[in-house]
Amino acid sequence: MSVQIDHNLEEIRRFRPSPEFAAQAVASLALYDAAKADRLGFWAAQAKELLHWHRPFTRTLDWTNPPFAKWFDDGELNVAYNCLDRHVEAGNGNRIALHWEGEPGDSRDYSYAELTAEVKKAANLLTSLGVSAGDRVAIYLPMIPEAVISMLAVARIGAVHSVVFGGFSAESLRTRIDDASASIVITADGGYRKGKVFPLKTTVDTALADGESTVRNVLVVKRGGNEVEWTEGRDLWWRDELAAVDAEHVAKGFPAEHPLFILYTSGTTGKPKGILHTSGGYLTQTAFTHKNVFDLHPEKDVFWCTADIGWITGHSYVVYGPLANGATQVLFEGTPDSPHPGRWWEIIEKYKVSIFYTAPTAIRSFMKLGRQIPQEFNLRSLRLLGSVGEPINPEAWIWYRHVIGGGSIPVVDTWWQTETGAIMISALPGITDLKPGSAQTPVPGIEIEVLDDNGAPVSEGGGLLVVSEPWPSMLRGIWGDPERFTETYWEKFGDRYFAGDGARIDEDGDIWLLGRVDDVMNVSGHRLSTAEIESSLVAHPLTAEAAVVGASDETTGQAVVAFVILKASQEDAVSPEEASVLLRAHVARQIGAIARPREVFIVNELPKTRSGKIMRRLLRDLAEGREIGDTTTLSDASVMQVISDKVR
């Protein structure tokens, strides 16, 4: 595994917290001291302070059977009660939980009392449909309040949600439904995107069309108003059903290690992994990081995380962290550039957003459009900016701070993963001197190391990022596949967690992330597997062989670039240009639009070693327009010349 060190390392700018910000900061240096003195005691104190326990825990961590951790395991809590009822009981029922903004410009506010009432009804509805604790419910919805309501209703009755991003195809949805044996799907007729309605219910119908499935009922929220087909007995309108159930629901406690959700993410093989998270530890760390990394003052801040609930960022920083902390936030259905390129800034102005959390890819695309667009809006309510999903290049960091943040507010770059459940590495605003381009410091209570391939600490240059102690919001496994769990994350470094990222620690102890070291790509902050796209490509009748690489891209970080050999029998049937168009569309249809290759090159050969392994490194050189690297291990050294003549 080789790790590339990029130009970020020459970055030397530093930004001190302003005295005004520091004076009111939620976080403090004392957090680091407390965690250092007694790590487990620190997490236990956070769990007690931040959450309501139906039954207090007495044990903090059981790590007697690594890598299977148990946190707070003799305690009981109800995750939804923690996100809802207790805020109402504390007298904050009238506080706005969600300022929801629809894509066409419609909007709706939910107070904590209103959101609690909706979730209670939805919990009763799910129970009436036979869902009980431990059962899996698939959620396939646009960014509408019902998405949050569904997740919390599932959690409230101790069932397990599996949210599938609305941009995923019928086939991807079906794979996820089957893998988790979901009994209910919650969807909408359609959602809005760039001024048009896109169908969701139809995709669910397609997903469930073939063969027996475990799904008994499909609950349909009316949103797009588009026509839908109806399977009597199976399909139910969300609103009609909710009107018929009891409004009262008492939340009962579930064990801290009770499963909360499964979320699928791409790995190095073609099959997505169902990452499993549980209740008490997950909620502790999402609440802790949301409070301290975002300097949350719940009585006055307006928080906006732009992630879709279909990703982990949406789970942890749209739903669980902010609601556990009683925050007021914005939930937005649309895209940044529709109907005009200032849509996000308009929303910040409208709701006086004070804390804003988004991805570098979005920031870079705004940079391209120019500062005059955000400058048309009043963004002075902002007091803290966050970034997540991939390394943020210093230029984008500086632009973000100056153009969006007005030049003086903190920017926190937060490193974490679907697997880690919550933020692991980030500056603490008001405390840390900020360094653009570096994610900087493990949050209190988290132990990070950078090791070489043999497990020795790396003091200079790049190495592999490892979490050396278990943490509360860590994944508890891969759904149905304990072996893959152990193999993927825990075999390389004993009982330490291998994250799959390259990293370097500088002389101040700050951590710089250097990208994935495996065959996982990062496109616009979304994780995609080269193997998954390759197997989609070879499933097409035109394709004989395919190789996929993540090539660096100015806006999206990486872009999917495919090299395909056509079947000899097909070569005369289509032109290379036609084949390329067909294959790009095929991948988008099979997996989802996010996986659509930026380019598909039709070639006659692929560069292989003598043992037949495809040398993706060389293809990446080609895709990025670089000089081709060392070809001495190729079985046929002339191949690269032939391919490069085709491509260039």
Determine if residue 54 is labeled as part of a ligand binding site: no
Rounded distance, CA 221 to CA 204, Å? 13
Determine if residue 193 is labeled as part of a ligand binding site: yes
Kindly report the backbone phi and psi dihedral angles of residue 44, in degrees, each rounded to the nearest multiple of 5, phi listed first: -60, -40
Min dist CB 640 to ligand WT7, Å, is: 28
Q: Which is nearer to ligand WT7, 44 or 151 (CB)?
A: 151
Here the tokens at position 563 are: 């090299």
What number of other Cβ atoms are within 10 A of residue 169's Cβ? 20
Here the tokens at position 222 are: 């009316």
Q: Which is nearer to ligand WT7, 31 or 467 (CB)?
A: 467
3-class secondary-structure state, position 288: helix
Q: Which is nearer to ligand WT7, 237 or 490 (CB)?
A: 490
Q: Which helix (H) or strand (E) holds 579?
A: helix 576-590
β-sheet bridge partners, residue 100: 108, 331
Q: Which is nearer to ligand WT7, 82 or 473 (CB)?
A: 473
Rounded distance, CA 479 to CA 138, Å? 14
Determine if residue 549 is labeled as part of a ligand binding site: no
Min dist CB 416 to ligand WT7, Å, is: 4
Determine if residue 524 is labeled as part of a ligand binding site: yes
Determine if residue 194 is labeled as part of a ligand binding site: yes
Residues 6+ apart with CB under 8 A from 640: 607, 618, 622, 628, 631, 634
Q: Which is nearer to ligand WT7, 200 or 318 (CB)?
A: 318
Single-letter amino acid, residue 91: G
Q: Answer for the pair 120, 248: CB distance below 8 angstroms, yes or no.
A: yes
Determine if residue 345 is labeled as part of a ligand binding site: no
Min dist CB 439 to ligand WT7, Å, is: 5
Determine if residue 540 is labeled as part of a ligand binding site: yes
Q: Which is nearer to ligand WT7, 451 or 513 (CB)?
A: 513
Q: Answer for the pair 429, 295: CB distance below 8 angstroms, yes or no.
A: yes
Min dist CB 261 to ligand WT7, Å, is: 14
Min dist CB 522 to ligand WT7, Å, is: 5
What number of other Cβ atoms are within 10 A of residue 553's Cβ? 18
Determine if residue 415 is labeled as part of a ligand binding site: yes
Min dist CB 450 to ligand WT7, Å, is: 14
Q: Which is nearer to ligand WT7, 47 or 307 (CB)?
A: 307
Determine if residue 195 is labeled as part of a ligand binding site: yes
Determine if residue 413 is labeled as part of a ligand binding site: yes
Q: Which is nearer to ligand WT7, 192 or 294 (CB)?
A: 294
Task: Label residues 611-646 b or e (16+ Cβ within 10 Å = b).
Answer: eeebbbebbbbbbeeeeeeebeebeeeebbeebeee
Q: Which is nearer to ligand WT7, 383 or 527 (CB)?
A: 527
**E strand intervals along 86-183:** 96-101, 107-111, 136-140, 160-163
Report the interface residues with ligand WT7, using CB under 6 A.
265, 312-313, 388-391, 413-418, 439, 499-501, 513, 516, 522, 525, 527
Q: DSSP per residue over 18-36, as a string?
A: PHHHHHH-S--HHHHHHHH
Determine if residue 418 is labeled as part of a ligand binding site: yes
Rounded distance, CA 94 to CA 110, Å? 9
DSSP-derived pairing of the beta strands 497-505 and 463-467: antiparallel
Residue in the block written with tokens 């939340």:
251
Min dist CB 167 to ligand WT7, Å, is: 14
Rounded distance, CA 98 to CA 108, Å? 8
Question: Binding site for CoA, residues?
Answer: 193-196, 313, 524
Question: Binding site for Mg(2+), residues?
Answer: 538, 540
Question: Binding site for ATP, residues?
Answer: 389-391, 413-418, 501, 516, 527
Question: Binding site, residues?
Answer: 193-196, 313, 389-391, 413-418, 501, 516, 524, 527, 538, 540
